[in-house]
């Protein structure tokens, strides 16, 4: 089975501080993989490196066996990787409908077209409607994204991420700041939306992590100290000492 994401000896240095020190991480195709670790361990930086938001200082990153380190984010996105953001990052003045439509346009091949009427593209319309329904925001279709509630914005964030049909999805703390009921709904939604795709998720809520992930990697001080099934991670002494133990204490 080939890998969707493969990081080999990836390093990232800010000034003199090495935030990521030789990360090796593999995410198999179709797998739901969670990346956990204490605050400041470099989880978001790892996401930023994979998605092209930052360039790695050393090492190589492969997406579906293709080298992507150093490529700009839009090229990586076109190769089939899409990410969400920890802090909601939407098009605030545009409506929910327009937000989702923007996320569909490149994938449907319309690119920079200035000779096509946007209202006359049936496949764009259908796909946007499908995503809108999937994230349960149909009743909020014509509301500017900036006026949505927090949970709705998080749903839209995920909607934009999956709308383009990328087969590798990176979600950065999708349930942060949500109530228990909202979290449950969000997890259900994520499970449904990423069906048949590869998912790499950063999450602090351990019930979400252990409920959703097929495999878990633990990142501490910029290094992956363990990678395995939820059971393996739960029973690993190294992980307990470095991370889970701290939380239990």
What do you get for the CA distance between the two ends of the chain, in Å? 39
Instruction: Pick between residue 146 and residue 245 the one whose CB is nearest to another protein.
Output: 146
**230 forms part of the interface with another protein (CB under 8 A):** no
**105 forms part of the interface with another protein (CB under 8 A):** yes
Candidates 39, 65, 119, 181; binder of another protein (CB under 8 A) is 119
Using the contact rule CB under 8 A, the part of the chain among 28-36, 129-137, 193-201, 232-240 near another protein is: 129-137
**Measured from the CB of residue 155, what is the shortest distance to another protein in angstroms?**
15
- 137 with 156: CB under 8 angstroms? yes
**154 forms part of the interface with another protein (CB under 8 A):** no
Candidates 77, 183, 189, 194; binder of another protein (CB under 8 A) is 77
Total binding residues toward another protein, as defined by CB under 8 A: 49
Ramachandran angles phi, psi of 43, nearest 5°: -65, -50
CA gap 27, 24 in Å, rounded: 10
**102 forms part of the interface with another protein (CB under 8 A):** yes
Instruction: Pick between residue 37 and residue 80 the one whose CB is nearest to another protein.
Output: 80
**Measured from the CB of residue 90, what is the shortest distance to another protein in angstroms?**
7
Instruction: Spell out the residues 6+ positions from residue 233 whose beta carbon is closer than 8 angstroms to its own.
Output: 216, 218, 226, 239
Angle between helices 96-105 and 122-134 (to 10 degrees): 120
**Measured from the CB of residue 219, what is the shortest distance to another protein in angstroms?**
22
**87 forms part of the interface with another protein (CB under 8 A):** no
**83 forms part of the interface with another protein (CB under 8 A):** yes
**Measured from the CB of residue 235, what is the shortest distance to another protein in angstroms?**
37
**86 forms part of the interface with another protein (CB under 8 A):** no
**198 forms part of the interface with another protein (CB under 8 A):** no
CA gap 102, 240 in Å, rounded: 43
Candidates 36, 41, 50, 90; binder of another protein (CB under 8 A) is 90
**212 forms part of the interface with another protein (CB under 8 A):** no
Residues that bind another protein (CB under 8 A): 51-52, 72-74, 77-78, 82-83, 85, 89-94, 97-98, 101-103, 105-107, 110-119, 121, 125-126, 128-129, 132-133, 138-139, 141-142, 160-161, 163-164
């Amino acid at each position: 089975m080939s890998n969707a994401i493969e990081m080999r000896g990836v390093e990232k240095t800010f000034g003199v501080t090495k935030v990521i020190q030789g990360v090796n991480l593999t995410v198999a195709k179709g797998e739901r993989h969670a990346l956990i670790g204490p605050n400041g361990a470099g989880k978001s930086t790892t996401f930023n490196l994979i998605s092209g938001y930052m360039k790695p200082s050393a090492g190589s990153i492969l997406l579906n066996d293709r080298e992507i380190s150093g490529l700009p984010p839009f090229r990586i996105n076109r190769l089939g990787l899409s990410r969400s953001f920890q802090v909601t990052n939407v098009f605030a003045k545009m409506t929910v409908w327009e937000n989702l439509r923007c996320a569909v346009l490149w994938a449907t091949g319309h690119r920079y077209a200035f000779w096509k009427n946007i209202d006359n593209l049936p496949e764009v319309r259908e796909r946007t409607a499908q995503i809108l329904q999937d994230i349960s925001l149909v009743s909020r279709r014509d509301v500017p994204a900036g006026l949505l509630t927090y949970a709705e914005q998080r749903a839209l964030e995920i909607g934009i991420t999956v709308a383009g049909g990328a087969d590798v999805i990176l979600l950065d703390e999708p349930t942060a700041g949500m109530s228990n009921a909202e979290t449950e709904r969000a997890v259900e939604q994520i499970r449904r939306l990423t069906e048949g795709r590869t998912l790499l998720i950063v999450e602090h809520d351990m019930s979400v992590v252990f409920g959703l992930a097929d495999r878990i990697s633990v990142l501490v001080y910029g290094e992956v100290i363990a990678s395995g099934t939820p059971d393996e991670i739960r029973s690993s002494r190294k992980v307990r000492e470095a991370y889970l133990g701290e939380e239990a204490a």
